[in-house]
Structure 1
């Protein structure tokens, strides 16, 4: 495992994106447990992209404008839905301590959808993984699986840290209603901006 791969992967994972934003929102709204569950969901959302890259489906998405556009606009629509639901749900970041926790399955499903509907992840794997596999290497498949597993582990650790940090400042945030209002607006705007950015990829 090269240091270059680890550093590059860490930079990519740590750069705030849709998954990190969702994990932070989960940590703020429901605490550390929800943040960890969201981190797991975002990590699981990488699996389809990894499989696509390894099996060659990424090549199809890369060469088929129609396939890429369909996936891209599904992702845009979901991000805009996340922006709308965040803005309208006034209780999203103000869940009381005794509130029933949101179903882990629902948190994971939302997190998985966020990453599945992100075609940039597929293109990233398609362009990134081959750089660390020697041409003609007989163990290319196990090698790509190993690299993908490391990338997923880094994603889980970094996103869990995001969720933990969000949960740590949760009490300070939810005790100030004006802060909550602006937090909702910021998260909604961020989801909308990410959707708009994806639309113009």
Structure 2
């Protein structure tokens, strides 16, 4: 067995609690699910989890250390992420109530939501640095390849995140469906989402390593 059972239990518990803790990703899932529905929220979740694969690989291969040691690399990535969040805020404010909650979403629109989740996640350098600090705490040289251990822990973290975020999406989708019975509700939710994206963009832009 690659990891002792008590280590796995501790890691899974910590991962689930971290996924539940308010942050840019689960807030993003919450707002998208409330405004668009549970299924679009799950596609966003899939995108975010795909982004976590990138961060896991970065830690396993040592690339994440670059963002920890290079202020320039850190700043470039975070400003790209902040600009993208501002773009999402613009789209939310612009959309108003033009897209109905029960509107049919094409496969392309689901793909766009999936892609949006990926881009939002990978342009947050804090995730790579977090993984760089968090994952190695549960590794042990006695258990074999450190690279393999990082990949396995990252995979477990992704599963925990997917379960938690999907649950958030399902609950938020139902709340959004109830909220949208008011004809002005979607416009209000889009404005709220736009405000949240703006705040997240500012938070990311002014964050430090």
Same fold (TM over 0.5): yes
Determine whether 1:144 maps to 2:150.
Answer: yes
Q: Which runs of 5+ in 2 are unaligned?
A: none
Alignment of 1:6-85 (within 5 A): 6-85=12-91
In 1, Cα distance between equivalents of 2:49 and 2:124: 13
RMSD of aligned C-alpha atoms? 1.9
Q: Which runs of 5+ in 1 are unaligned?
A: none
In 2, Cα distance between equivalents of 1:29 and 1:182: 9
- Matched with 2:178 is 172
In 2, Cα distance between equivalents of 1:47 and 1:121: 11
Q: Secondary structure at the match of 1:103?
A: helix
- C-alpha spacing 1:20/1:136, structure 2 compared with 1 (3 Å): same
Q: Is the 8 A contact 1:23 1:35 kept in 2?
A: yes
Compare 6-15 and 27-36 and name the one that shifted more.
Answer: 27-36
Q: Is the 8 A contact 1:18 1:114 kept in 2?
A: no
- Give the number of aligned pairs: 200
Q: Secondary structure at the match of 1:169?
A: helix
Offset of 1:10 from its aligned partner? 1.4
In 2, Cα distance between equivalents of 1:59 and 1:136: 23
Q: Is the 8 A contact 2:35 2:190 kept in 1?
A: no
In 1, Cα distance between equivalents of 2:36 and 2:188: 18
Determine whether 1:95 maps to 2:100.
Answer: yes
In 2, Cα distance between equivalents of 1:69 and 1:153: 29
After TM superposition, the score normalised by the length of structure 2 is 0.87
In 1, Cα distance between equivalents of 2:164 and 2:139: 25
